[in-house]
Structure 1
Amino acid sequence: MPRTADYTIQGFLYQFNKTLLAILQGADTAVVTVEGIIEDIEVVTGGLTEAIQCKYHETNLAFTYSALYKPLLQMMQHFHRNPGGKVTYVLFAHFPGLDQDGITVSKQVLLDALASKDKKYAAYIKDVKGLIDLDAFLLKLKPPVGPSYDALVLEVQASLQAAGIAKTEIETLVYPNAIQAIASLSIRHQVAARKITKRKLLDDLETIKTTAISHWTLGLKNRQAILTARRKQLKANLTKNARLRYFLVDAGSLPTFCISATKEQLSDIKLRLHQKGTTAHNGYVEGHFDEALFHREPLVRKAQDGTLQREFSLRLLRWQDHAPLLDAHKPADLFVLGDAVHSTLNTKDVNIEVLASSSFDEIKFILGIKNACD
């Protein structure tokens, strides 16, 4: 993964961790909005709002106050438009090489921001310059305090333990699931759906017994430990050969093994499997699909050497054409690999295993096919 992609993901994870910290260190009934109307995180307690904006700078070689101009101008604009609002503004910013007391936002810093010639800030400046009471705004602004990413993670994990969660369950189960819970909230369209309380989060985490595997949890620094934990969790069911299992695979994430794919991709996969001695069955006869034919059991014959040979070894189904068939014959387990979408399926009484890794080696490791990740 390119370093720029690493830093982008880490920036989001920094915000998710700060969101978790705001939830865990707040009152049980405080309402936290992920991706709020005012800022990245909004905490409402007793009618008072704490609006938090996160800025994570890992690549900056030297700190300059200009890096804070945009969030400061955004906060000033909101303050000016809502003069009677019961809002405290928090700039939670991290810059490498600076300790938590290394940044002081003075009135002069605000004046410099308002004097900026950068066209990206023109709309904010026009809205507030000469109109805002800067002294009153500074009373509402908390100093920017942002520890390093690693220090923030440790603080979140300590807060989970302080909330009564066993230390042994935090690193590879509760903590990654908490990150995934915040990530899932952040993409919901309605503001009301992005609200959560400490009590609700802890109750939800208590019910989850498997580790979430997503591009967010795999972006955490203990990636290998998370994969190993998920492998152990899956082992019990995977050793039961009598269970009916479906694999829904996204072609974009795992291009070497595709089910959610174009017709041409599916035909190519079937040919390649045949060339490797594996016969795939798709239920088609002369271009027409026969559902009963698709679901029938393979014929078995005895070869000359006495071994039993099945007519076909697996069934291939193209998601775009025949997804409803999965509801007609519900499996015990549904494995969703990559970013394949399964929300249209009836998954009541079905064990869902989402393994959103883009690495086929990692998928094979989790499923017990390989003993190590390359």
Structure 2
Amino acid sequence: MADTADVLVIGGGPAALCIASELHQRGVVVEGIAPNPVDAPWPNTYGIWADELKMVGLEQLLEHRWSDTVSYFGEGGIKAQDQSHGHGIDYGLFDRSALQRYWLERAEGVVWHQDTAERVEAGAATTTVTSASGVTLQARLVIDASGSRTPHIRRPDQGPVAGQAAYGVVGRFSKPPIEAGRFVLMDYRCDHLSEEQRSEPPTFLYAMDLGEGVFFVEETSLALAPGVPYDVLKQRLQQRLDQRAVEITEVIHEEFCLFPMNLPLPDRSQPLLAFGGAASMVHPASGYMVGALLRRGPDLAQALAEVLANPALGSEALARRGWQALWPIELVLRHQLYQFGLSRLMGFNEALLRTHFATFFSLPREEWFGFLTNTLPLPRLMGVMLRLFALSPWELRRGLVLGASPRKKPRW
């Protein structure tokens, strides 16, 4: 590049477009580098509680919205049809192209290089990125928003990283796999599983009616290290459908997801900044991130725009200020609390996990919503966790304090 950009963003997914657009809106000279065109369709679906979008005034970005939102935590069978837990809050699915277009329009004027960042070297004043094609790009600050698997961001090794794995199908079925017009956040009923399968790490159904006879059904593992294999998830989804005499008549789209739930926070002294999955922004308790991008992107961009106005600051100083804005001590402590809770849940068997979620969703709506969206201040978050502990039956309390008894190694 002829001139050094203020910021170079690595990546072309939601996190990259979000931070590039927010910086551009604040007059920052931004460039990007991504291996694929930034307007290429995104393969995965993104869900969000509608109230979370309402906070940032972007409810128009929803393609689907459900008011009938439920979960099932019962044993299964006919009786369990009457044991759904209503959440009393709308859930939505993003219109992916509208979300992508929203950020691209706000980033109009940003130069995107279609290439792969292979080497990143921070100097005193600028950081140099060398691409796979041999092109050299420079910027006062580089932000890695290329995802959790990035090789460029340093983070401590805290043992195996747990992944949330999911296999899903968008399609048509011989009869509705869930009730018409309904969204199912978690269906932990297990009447379709063998006794041996019930002793293995549990999975749940995440499903929704997309209208016009099309449904999305997805078998999901909350978190496990290593993640549950796709063939296991696919088999369990098929067993679940078979138990209810539902056949898939048309597959419109298959979805495969695997992302880290307890990725350690990056080394926040490094001269390279991160955003999105690369910055460990996936919620350790829920696996969601897009809401966090929409809330935290503007604040980070504003903090960076202010320090970039000082031409004397180089990459290290700019990155330090960026890390402080992205991960203040309040958010670090909340993240640690969530990771502690996840470490307990990962050891729960299916019965204990069902009990936990039934208890969790009995909390007042603003409390479980704030917990799942990471919008509760630290003192309130701690209060909610204490209330959950107080409401829990003895076996669940024991598991939350001591961890669950070791389960046998799954056959997969």
**TM class, shorter-chain normalised?**
under 0.3
Task: Identify which of structures 1 and 2 has the higher relative contact order when contacts are C-alpha pairs closer than 8 Å and 6+ apart.
Answer: 2
Bigger proportion of residues as helix: 1
TM-score (norm. length: structure 2): 0.25
TM-score (norm. length: structure 1): 0.27
Bigger Rg over Cα: 1
